[in-house]
Amino acid sequence: MAIIINAPLDMHLHLRDTEMLNIVAPLSSHTFSGAIIMPNLVPPVSTKEELLAYKNRIHQACRSDIFTPYMTLFFKPTYTKDFLESIKDELTAIKLYPAGITTNSEGGVDGFSVEELAPTLNAMSELDIPLCVHGETNGFVMDREAEFVSIYEMLASNFPKLTIIMEHITTKESVEALDKFENLYATITLHHLLITLDDVAGGMLQPHLFCKPIAKRPEDREALRKVALSGHPKVMFGSDSAPHPQHAKEACGCAAGVFTAPIALQVLTELFMENSTLDKLEDFVSNNAQNIYKNITVPKKTIHLEKKPFIVPDKYGTVVPMYAGETLAYSITNIES
Ligand code: DOR
Ligand code: ZN
């Protein structure tokens, strides 16, 4: 039986730059219609010139693929309404990182006060620019996301017209927050639907599954699966596919990030098939995102998959993907665009 996915979207993707960009960009642009591109380069994307130049480099790396990079800026509380207005047509969202919480986030927000954030967040509300948030405190690693829920609530209630996306949620507490505020939405990764902390550190340490936020408990994964598999309208697929070279992962001081871009649609298909929810897959990977992000246009692309073994390569360039060397049940057999 052929399975079809129309216009798949990855609403949280790291493409990096230079050689890494050239390795990983085609792996997303081939199979996705578009993706929200994270701005945590060194230095982070924070001016119009940097954003346009990065978008150009992405287009070049994607060669002739029909693919739209939805560009983001790295949040700064000093962005003015005039500046945002001047860049609005090129910009899909702004990504807020707490300072130092993950890869290349040192220039992020230090302390969350409404007064300090208000000028930029009010301008974003007025201009309908969504805010994407990496929601972790610097508390105990397993509690960081749950502790951040009160900050999400502060943001959602003080800026009710702002679209706020809780990125890569990993806990039942974040799932519960979704239904409390009209303007809160979420992305969920592939890996957080599949693994728990046991898979990362329960046996031999698995550096290729180490990411931020760290994978949590079985009951958290269950809560994530429930909303993803039911096609909950406030939840979108965002892979957080985050490539690092093999030497940076298999190292003392392992970099955080799981590289899933080339396997995402095959594994999502298997997960939704196994749970008899295939009719909800397109909501999760496309329709919900189009309803939430009202400012995107989505190029046509149709992905055909079949139940046919796909052997995951050991490496793409210098990057080891999730399930390297293993055989997946579903393969992409045709792409129309
Ligand atoms: O695991 C992660 N890797 N989490 C993030 O938030 C950032 C990402 C990266 O850029 O490597
Ligand atoms: Zn990310």
User: Which positions ≥6 away from 198 have C-beta within 8 Å?
Assistant: none
Give the CA dihedral 23, 55, 135, 165, nearest 10 degrees.
-120
The residue written with tokens 């302390």 in the block is 111
DSSP characters for 73-100? Answer: EE--TT--HHHHHHHGGG-SEEEE-BTT
Confidence band of 139 (pLDDT split at 50, 70, 90):
very high
Whole-number average pLDDT of the chain: 97
The residue written with tokens 């642009």 in the block is 29
Q: Would you say residue 148 has pLDDT above 80?
A: yes
Residues in the chain: 337
User: Percentage of residues in the chain with pLDDT exceeding 70?
Assistant: 100
**pLDDT score at 330:** 98
Q: Would you say residue 242 has pLDDT above 80?
A: yes
4 C-alpha to ligand 1 centroid (Å): 30
* Cβ atoms within 10 Å, residue 35: 26
Distance CA 129, CA 80 (A): 13
**pLDDT score at 1:** 77
Q: Would you say residue 111 has pLDDT above 90?
A: no
199 C-alpha to ligand 1 centroid (Å): 18
Distance CA 337, CA 331 (A): 18
Select from 17, 72, 102, 148 the residue to mutate for testing ligand 1; criterion: most ligand atoms less than 8 Å from CB.
102
**pLDDT score at 23:** 98
Half-sphere exposure of residue 282, counting CA atoms within 13 Å on the CB side?
Answer: 11
In this predicted model, what pLDDT tens digit does every residue of 261-317 receive, in sequence order? 999 999 999 999 999 999 999 999 999 999 999 989 999 999 999 999 999 999 999
Q: What is the domain partition of the chain in residue ranges?
A: 9-298
Cβ pair 143, 175 in contact under 8 A: no
**pLDDT score at 177:** 98
> Mean pLDDT over residues 221-247, rounded?
98
> Mean pLDDT over residues 171-194, rounded?
98
Q: Would you say residue 154 has pLDDT above 90?
A: yes
Distance CA 222, CA 205 (A): 23
Tokens encoding 260: 């899933």
The residue written with tokens 């230095």 in the block is 43
> What amino acid positions are annotated as catalytic residues?
240
> Mean pLDDT over residues 1-12, rounded?
96
Q: Which ligand ends up closest to the CA of 35?
A: 2
User: Which positions ≥6 away from 255 have C-beta within 8 Å?
Assistant: 103, 244, 248, 249
Q: Would you say residue 82 has pLDDT above 90?
A: yes
CATH of domain 9-298: 3.20.20.140
**pLDDT score at 97:** 97
For residue 111, what is the DSSP state? S
**257 burial level (CB within 10 Å; 0-12, 13-18, 19+):** buried
Q: Would you say residue 122 has pLDDT above 90?
A: yes
> Beta strands 302-311 and 3-6: pairing type?
antiparallel
1 C-alpha to ligand 2 centroid (Å): 34
In this predicted model, what pLDDT tens digit does every residue of 19-67 receive, in sequence order? 999 999 999 999 999 999 999 999 999 999 999 999 999 999 999 999 9
**pLDDT score at 2:** 86
Residues having CB closer than 6 A to ligand 1 are: 14, 40, 102-103, 134, 211-212, 240, 242, 256-257
Confidence band of 132 (pLDDT split at 50, 70, 90):
very high
Q: Which ligand ends up closest to the CA of 16?
A: 1
